[in-house]
Amino acid sequence: MGLGIFMHIIVALVFIILSLIIALFGTDRKFGFWGYFFCSLLLTPAIGLIILLASDKKKHSPDAEPGKTSSNS
């Protein structure tokens, strides 16, 4: 009976770690880190992974590229 609580803790930790991994892969996607983290946490990491794979990458504007300046001097 004492082992049951430890198994619940292990399962919860694995659930959170998988959600964090999915969120890390989602940082450059449409919903960002927090969107995919909470999606995976609330709906299960398997559903979060499906949503991650089905989503588009963020669209970056050409003006926001690092190292470029807007002046022509």
pLDDT at 61: 66
Provide the residue-wise pLDDT of the chain in tens; the chain has 73 residues.
Answer: 567 889 999 999 999 999 999 999 999 998 999 999 999 999 999 999 999 999 888 887 666 556 655 555 5
Q: Does 28 map to a domain?
A: yes
Domain count, the chain: 1
The range of the structural domain enclosing residue 31 comes to 20-56
Measure CA of the first residue to CA of the last residue in the chain; give whole Å: 74
| Rg of the Cα atoms in the chain | 18
Triad 6, 10, 15: Cα angle to 5°: 145
C-alpha dist (Å) from residue 73 to 28, 31, 57, 69: 33, 37, 33, 10
10 sits in the region (left: phi over 0; alpha: psi -120 to 50; else beta) called: alpha
pTM of the model: 0.72
